[in-house]
Amino acid sequence: MKATLNINQREFAIDLTQPIDISIPLRGSEDNPVAWYLSKPEIEPVRMGDWVGKVSEGESSTNFNTIIFNPHAHGTHTECLGHITRDFFSVNQHLKQFFFLAQLVTITPEDHEDDSIITLSQIESVWQSNCQDAFVIRTLSNENDKKNRKYSHTNPPYLSAEAVVFLREKGIKHLLVDLPSVDKEKDEGKLLAHKAFWNVQDTQHLNSDARLDATITEMIYVENRVTDGLYILNLQIAPFENDASPSKPVLYKIM
């Protein structure tokens, strides 16, 4: 089914029957990816005395699960600047548009001593000026185990603050990465890339030009068969009143 979207005063045709899902599903098992020193998420049937909310156990007419998870640690999630500020901001209140022109790029982070970093020069080398709102980064190597990787204490790659400033100044409002964070895992709370992207100088007292409508999406997975280039991004979130929500970013080829 063909659809025509008007984005940034330009029309784009896409085929809605050909979505490219770049999210990682949340599973209540060891197959789920985990970051930030937590254990796996839990998806378990409700138990009330002898009653179990699971049809296969014979006592219930419905499956009735309780889910315990952390959006930042357990899979694809989209966050707003409320992730780092003293004052509360909800991603559900500040993400109000859901279709964007996006550029997908593939980058091999550079080794710098003990770190792997996506640098300004790397971002500059792949940048294309097309008035895109979103920027999607796939890192190499790109094995399937990103879908269930255990990131805690592994010092994953991250983005330099200079690279993020470049994207912010180019007008990127939605940054998507296949990493658990745009920042270094153990950075003493500096959060330089987060602050740079949202243009936040002081997390205790928000500056007037902080970017309330910008989002960061982490822990995506883009299969190798998906080629670099321009796409339409549909950024779907669950309506959580929280700084972050589990999300389902979907790309569409432009016809």
Taking the C-alpha atoms of residue 144 and residue 222, their distance in angstroms, rounded to an integer, is 10
pLDDT at 95: 98
Q: Is the pLDDT of residue 154 over 90?
A: yes
Q: What is the pLDDT of residues 54-74, one digit of tens each?
A: 999 877 999 999 999 999 999
Q: What is the pLDDT of residues 161-217, one digit of tens each?
A: 999 999 999 999 999 999 999 999 999 999 999 999 999 999 999 999 999 999 999
Provide the CA 206 distance to its chain's centre, in angstroms: 23
Taking the C-alpha atoms of residue 54 and residue 157, their distance in angstroms, rounded to an integer, is 41
Q: Is the pLDDT of residue 48 over 80?
A: yes
CATH topology of domain 2-25+75-253: Glucose Oxidase; domain 1 (3.50.30)
Read off the pLDDT of each residue in 131-137 and give the average, rounded to a whole number: 98
**Percent composition of the chain: helix, strand, coil (DSSP 3-state, to 5):** 15, 35, 55
Q: Output the average pLDDT for the chain.
A: 97
Read off the pLDDT of each residue in 150-159 and give the average, rounded to a whole number: 98
pLDDT at 115: 97
| Closest C-alpha to 156, from 175, 179, 123, 122 | 179
Q: What is the pLDDT of residues 220-233, one digit of tens each?
A: 999 999 999 999 99
pLDDT at 58: 77
Q: Which residue has the tokens 């205790």?
A: 204
pLDDT at 46: 96
Percent of residues, the chain, with pLDDT higher than 70: 100
Going from N- to C-terminal start, the domains of the chain cover: 2-25+75-253
CB atoms within 10 A of CB 75: 26
